[in-house]
Structure 1
């Protein structure tokens, strides 16, 4: 048995247009519907190990806590694929799975697959969005400008004939139906049925293990831990079924409210009108959802600010009288107290997080090479949009992943610069007992970077090593193109390229894609089906001429020099 396999969900947050467009209002595009026939979970008696018996009519507070513990255990386990996570020791329910079970989830599927799996194992009701359409016109529902609305839902129910739903079919349908379009909605949807999630207040307990994070650039993650200092840690999955971990930050962008960016909790469904069978399970009935006013942690403040302005982007985030950057506000508000930053420890932690991201990238490239994508001919054009498409490009390329990595490197530099500014301003929110912060930050960076070694596989199968600082230097040379050799995927130069088997056409494409590599912004609304000649001509939307500066050590060296010069001037005076 394969649940949600590659044949069903081959692309990150994939949607496939269906045959329901004629029922939609004018100006909308085809809804997100199945590209394959839906499997009826009640069509035939389910095998004993796959029966979904509904034993409770609603989720209790203890069920939600148990779900959070389930997610936290997976997050802390170190598992590297969705299948490994659910078949490994972190999953306390694994022994009840039928022999040979396997699991798949891309980014958008992951919150649904995990919650559906937990509901199945605990006899809980479950319902999910199975069709959305754009508000206004949209070429791709994952990136609709004005968000989406729900026109179809699927409830998991036991019919009166007593055929319990087949959990395998439910999970398969989820992997086939769900996309990031199901997360793209305004705080208060204007039409349609209810969405599965709702926006939450930025507060302790509201953002917790099991909360989901939606990036309107087409990515979804699941929170597995929030520590006492307000660090939000998440797991996310990818088209190759790998599962990675990270910490919340600027890689998750803010956007206009209809795009629905940010933190979302599951809207609890309740089964009503069901009858009780002799075995204690519930039969029939229908699902209703809690309304916004019934949800104590519902809030739209992450869209508009704690103090609203003339527009959503003019809203201010104020914590204890101090106006903060949104991401700083999130950390303090989730912690529930002032954060006293230790700049040296924070720097080490951020470098460690980036090192983890580089290791995850190595996994993704290895998967692409094992699939033989780099041995295939280079296509004559790029996809219509390199950040949001389908097929092999979506499964094995890394433009979105690389863009998030670049943003995180830039965030590291910006945060270290902020520590220097806080120290200079005498901020009460920084703790440092030394005399030369720039020098000590440089030492902390070098220490953490020195502990990071990235190992990658070359075309000849040899294993090569790269230091953290070398990876930082090559960051904008990393190829996102899966048709190119692993040496170019890692920005190799000179003799290191000797094992690369790319022909002259692929070499030309690598050079022509440089301007695309230089940008860290993900432009999902741009048409990017460029030919080699168009890239060479630097046509609009084909990138930027220069890469941003992410050189932390250079910045710290200049700051240290300025400190020394200032000290010398003081002595002279």
Structure 2
């Protein structure tokens, strides 16, 4: 007689009505039906399988879709709404949750998790919550710094030890408070061949559509994101959570955040040193069982066991190849950047349509700056209510990108880096299209560009610049200045001020949006100083002048930040889009 491990009863009894027909149908549709029995913080009834990770990917992608195209409440949803709205959270649907799933997390625990959230803890919470609801095992590591006295968020490497295991944790609340509460961005900074490396939370993932799924992670120098969607163009989209008191959950629309992979062999003494940045897949735990399907232990999967889930070091090998050769051979083409390679591998379309892509991307870019305006208003209210915020000058463990307290909450150097990168990503994408046009002219769908009479790469470059400028002139946002009045800026205005937007929360909204000091827009704005750790108060205009270098950066720094005596000239500044893409004006040879 067949045996059904989860129910521990003969199949005959099931057919006689031990469970409902609805439950049987749900089990039949379940990609990973219950197969084991265990306890701990919650009942364990399933193993992680490749089919389960596809189910998890579907759940994450649905959250993203609702965050981007749902109702106003869904687009602005924070953790509690995201988990309790049955239209957002597929796990609230019994047919998706599956037979033997666990009930919704208690409301009080959801609220306590909300108050813990930041970008790192959000990446720890989502898979743990899913594991709980689907009755899967879960483990989260604790890490210590590999460098004495260096913060785990910026150390050269970290060492995982101990951690929190759902099988041995005494309760749901204790598990989540420990597993999420102790998680920090430094959890990702574990070298592949380092001490206790197989206790890490993630491993690098293969760059293909079968393995790089929603639910994977992207890590770059303290910035943690959940991969939430892969478009038909091969673009990667992410979910993130802010550190503000409101703990906003928002989307990153674009692949500009992907990068920073260390080329394999960068350190002559350790070929894998630093190879923890980039795209990662969760190190799914495995439940060991006895002959009756009872769980006896939950442990990490080894690197070898993670192969079927996508573990691969190719990111670092490809980055090395790109570094050495400046291109990669891929299907008869030569992508000249990791972004180009990812697009080629992840796309499902045979052609790309620049006009449609540029229009959509400009809309997304505007949304990124609308989010910035909401943040600036909250920051300004905090400064008015609670006083000035200390600039982390010349500190060993903090800098302007990675600090603690109110500076971490209300300054914007990191998110401004992301927005600059998002802007420049459009330029890089255009260059990708231009390069592909030469390699494979029919790869470019000219719909919407017919009036430009495109025959050469130079023609395509000029047409895309013109399209972008039309959208930048059309799209605008309103910000509220320090006097409560509305000021309108187009995307073209913001582009012109790209390196002028202040990240200092002590500055009034006018300066946060880069208004020139001698303009009517800035006239009458307050000029609060920026306080420094030793009590010195830097006058606003001088602080702004000395922060110019940091406003030009397109990557976060992990070293000490300065203000007094800071250089204000002599550093490279990246050309803006028109200048970058306009350099293709020489490529006039006809391709069509």
**TM-score, structure 1 normalization:** 0.76
Q: Which residue of 2 aligns with 1:171?
A: 176
| 1:327 equivalent among 328, 332, 339 | 339
Bigger drift between 191-200 and 378-387 goes to: 378-387
After TM superposition, give the deviation of residue 456 of structure 1 in Å: 2.4
Q: Which residue of 1 aligns with 2:372?
A: 361
Q: Which residue of 1 aligns with 2:299?
A: 288
Matches within 5 A, 1:156-305: 156-157=166-167, 165-167=171-173, 169-215=174-220, 217-240=221-244, 241-256=247-262, 257-259=272-274, 260-272=276-288, 285-294=296-305, 295-296=307-308, 297-305=310-318
Q: Distance in 2 between matches of 1:262 and 1:479?
A: 28
After TM superposition, give the deviation of residue 383 of structure 1 in Å: 6.2
| 1:351 equivalent among 362, 384, 393 | 362
After TM superposition, give the deviation of residue 118 of structure 1 in Å: 1.4
After TM superposition, give the deviation of residue 97 of structure 1 in Å: 4.2
Q: Distance in 1 between matches of 2:127 and 2:432?
A: 39
Q: Which residue of 2 aligns with 1:18?
A: none
SS in structure 1 opposite 2:199? Answer: coil
Q: Deviations over 1:319-342 (max 9, x none)?
A: 1133322111111112367x5332
8 A contact 1:127–1:269 mirrored in 2: yes
8 A contact 2:204–2:313 mirrored in 1: yes
**1:527 equivalent in alignment to 2:560:** yes
8 A contact 2:237–2:255 mirrored in 1: no
Q: Which residue of 1 aligns with 2:512?
A: 489
After TM superposition, give the deviation of residue 513 of structure 1 in Å: 1.3
**1:441 equivalent in alignment to 2:441:** no
Q: Which residue of 2 aligns with 1:34?
A: none
Q: Distance in 2 between matches of 1:179 and 1:527?
A: 20
After TM superposition, give the deviation of residue 138 of structure 1 in Å: 6.9
Q: Distance in 1 between matches of 2:129 and 2:440?
A: 51
Bigger drift between 97-106 and 205-214 goes to: 97-106
| 2:104 equivalent among 65, 90, 96 | 96
**1:392 equivalent in alignment to 2:397:** no
8 A contact 2:41–2:171 mirrored in 1: yes
After TM superposition, give the deviation of residue 261 of structure 1 in Å: 1.4
After TM superposition, give the deviation of residue 90 of structure 1 in Å: 0.5
Q: Deviations over 1:503-543 (max 9, x none)?
A: 3622321222123212323221x221x34x323xx2xxx78
Q: Which residue of 2 aligns with 1:430?
A: 444
| 1:54 equivalent among 40, 43, 52 | 43
After TM superposition, give the deviation of residue 550 of structure 1 in Å: 0.9
Q: Which residue of 1 aligns with 2:575?
A: 549
SS in structure 2 opposite 1:108? Answer: helix
SS in structure 1 opposite 2:523? Answer: helix
After TM superposition, give the deviation of residue 387 of structure 1 in Å: 1.2
Bigger drift between 265-274 and 368-377 goes to: 368-377
Matches within 5 A, 1:396-475: 396-420=410-434, 422-423=436-437, 427-432=441-446, 434-435=453-454, 436-475=459-498
8 A contact 1:374–1:483 mirrored in 2: no
After TM superposition, give the deviation of residue 476 of structure 1 in Å: 0.9
**TM-score, structure 2 normalization:** 0.74
| 2:138 equivalent among 119, 126, 137 | 126
Residues 274 and 84 of structure 1, relative CA distance in 2, 3 Å threshold: farther
Matches within 5 A, 1:106-121: 106-121=118-133
After TM superposition, give the deviation of residue 495 of structure 1 in Å: 1.8
Bigger drift between 76-85 and 199-208 goes to: 76-85
Matches within 5 A, 1:15-94: 52-56=41-45, 58-78=47-67, 79-80=75-76, 81-88=78-85, 89-93=87-91
Residues 55 and 254 of structure 1, relative CA distance in 2, 3 Å threshold: same
Q: Which residue of 2 aligns with 1:21?
A: none
Tell me how large the CA RMSD over aligned residues is.
3.3
**1:148 equivalent in alignment to 2:158:** yes
Residues 195 and 557 of structure 1, relative CA distance in 2, 3 Å threshold: closer
Residues 291 and 457 of structure 1, relative CA distance in 2, 3 Å threshold: same
Q: Distance in 1 between matches of 2:440 and 2:55?
A: 44
After TM superposition, give the deviation of residue 124 of structure 1 in Å: 1.9
Residues 55 and 66 of structure 1, relative CA distance in 2, 3 Å threshold: same
After TM superposition, give the deviation of residue 130 of structure 1 in Å: 1.7
8 A contact 1:57–1:270 mirrored in 2: no
8 A contact 1:213–1:220 mirrored in 2: yes
SS in structure 1 opposite 2:498? Answer: helix
Q: Distance in 2 between matches of 1:293 and 1:419?
A: 38
SS in structure 1 opposite 2:488? Answer: strand
8 A contact 1:119–1:126 mirrored in 2: yes
Gaps of 5+ in 2: 1-39, 68-74, 93-102, 263-271, 530-538
Q: Deviations over 1:427-457 (max 9, x none)?
A: 4533335334345323421343245322323
Gaps of 5+ in 1: 1-50, 568-573
After TM superposition, give the deviation of residue 230 of structure 1 in Å: 1.2
Bigger drift between 51-60 and 170-179 goes to: 51-60
After TM superposition, give the deviation of residue 275 of structure 1 in Å: 11
8 A contact 2:437–2:443 mirrored in 1: no
Q: Which residue of 1 aligns with 2:536?
A: none
SS in structure 2 opposite 1:459? Answer: coil
After TM superposition, give the deviation of residue 482 of structure 1 in Å: 1.1
Q: Which residue of 1 aligns with 2:549?
A: 515
After TM superposition, give the deviation of residue 96 of structure 1 in Å: 3.2
SS in structure 1 opposite 2:403? Answer: coil
Q: Which residue of 2 aligns with 1:139?
A: 150
Q: Distance in 1 between matches of 2:440 and 2:54?
A: 41
Bigger drift between 83-92 and 473-482 goes to: 83-92
After TM superposition, give the deviation of residue 151 of structure 1 in Å: 2.0
Q: Distance in 2 between matches of 1:218 and 1:118?
A: 24
Q: Deviations over 1:478-507 (max 9, x none)?
A: 111112112211112322223532236223
SS in structure 1 opposite 2:299? Answer: strand
After TM superposition, give the deviation of residue 185 of structure 1 in Å: 2.4
After TM superposition, give the deviation of residue 380 of structure 1 in Å: 6.7
SS in structure 1 opposite 2:227? Answer: strand
